[in-house]
Amino acid sequence: MKKVLLSICTILLLLTGCSLTFKDEEIPKQENPIEPDTSQEEVNPKEEWIEDTLDNLSLEEKIGQMLIVSDYNTSMTDELLTNFNEVKPGGFILFGENIKSYEQTTNLIKDIKNTSNIPLFISIDQEGGRVQRIKKMPDATVSIIPPMYNLGLTNDTNLAYEVGKVIGEELRVFDINMDFAPVLDIYSNPKNTVIGNRSFGTTAEIVSNMGISLAKGLENTGIIPVYKHFPGHGDTLEDSHTTLPIINKTKEELMDMELKPFIEAIENDAEIIMVSHLAVPKITGNNTPATLSKEIITDLLKEELGFDGIVITDALNMKALTNKYTEEEIYINAINAGVDILLMPDFDIETINIIKQAITSAEISEEQIDKSVSKILDLKYDLLEEENIYTKEYLGSISHQEIISKIDEVS
């Protein structure tokens, strides 16, 4: 009888538009809830390319991506091609020895780029002043850029930006995409000959403002600027090409001077910073070169200053390193310190083997390699569809000469 009454009550409630309520524990639970449809979610093409490319690289190829190599040939010889095929480097640096004419240089770069399915960093030191790899050619006129110190005397950031564009437009004629400039070292020691007039000036403000403006000009033309030489090479007497410079300053003293331009660069989205071969014993407690120091690269540059871009070494064939360290020690210590790209290691398969063996023996973690290569691929993605829109007519053009003449007027 109770069941009949309950049924009648239920029917009456439904007919009157009322609803029944249940206690929480009485609510029937759905055993297999419907999952939201994520098939239509947008896929980030950049992230997808990075992930797919990284997954398809062998360990040897990952290591290769962390190398920017050099060779002094003017054309693609059989031996050079063999080295490219074996090492599969991530980039190449051009020197004056590689550059003899417009046609020869463009052909060499084209042949280098054709050795890889992944975009290569085609790099160069084109600062202006005494560090200009591309100069006069028999078949092309190239703009001669005054020293950066002369540019700094103008204290004109708009002019610095325009000079960056001039350098960038002329580099892009050759399909170069990376410039080891600007120099952010402060010319605070008048006896410093290795930096000297390569610097924009004697104060952190001038160096920061002019250097970052020039870098923006480079970026405007599709050139990747590389800020150098962290943590600051301006107050040294020694040349790291021949010996190890030592900076006897505390971290606080560096923060007040040498590090200021780099802090400004980081705040302006610097993508690559070059670390120099100099010792800062009051930070590291010893004379370990900054290039091989975890305290300088990971603790100071990355964690304290917040740099999350690519760290590249200065050239690894410089005597500040080779006088004391073996090839194995240089590669292993640099990577473990937090370096992402090794500049100018020995260009042969033995370099790959040394680093691979260090990974196999757990002296280097493969996770660190993957992090570095991911950052490298992230920067290279933008090079995939990049077209070279600059032609030979840009070299030494009238508009370029007008910009350069503004530096000469002041200096």
Residue corresponding to tokens 């000009």: 217
229 is a catalytic site residue? no
Among 312, 273, 279, 304, CA closest to 293: 279
Catalytic residue, chosen from 241, 256, 269, 348, is: 241
Distance (Å, whole) CA 305 – CA 298: 10
Distance (Å, whole) CA 411 – CA 402: 15
Distance (Å, whole) CA 292 – CA 331: 9
314 is a catalytic site residue? yes
Catalytic residue, chosen from 156, 175, 235, 314, is: 314
Question: Which residues are catalytic, by number?
Answer: 241, 314
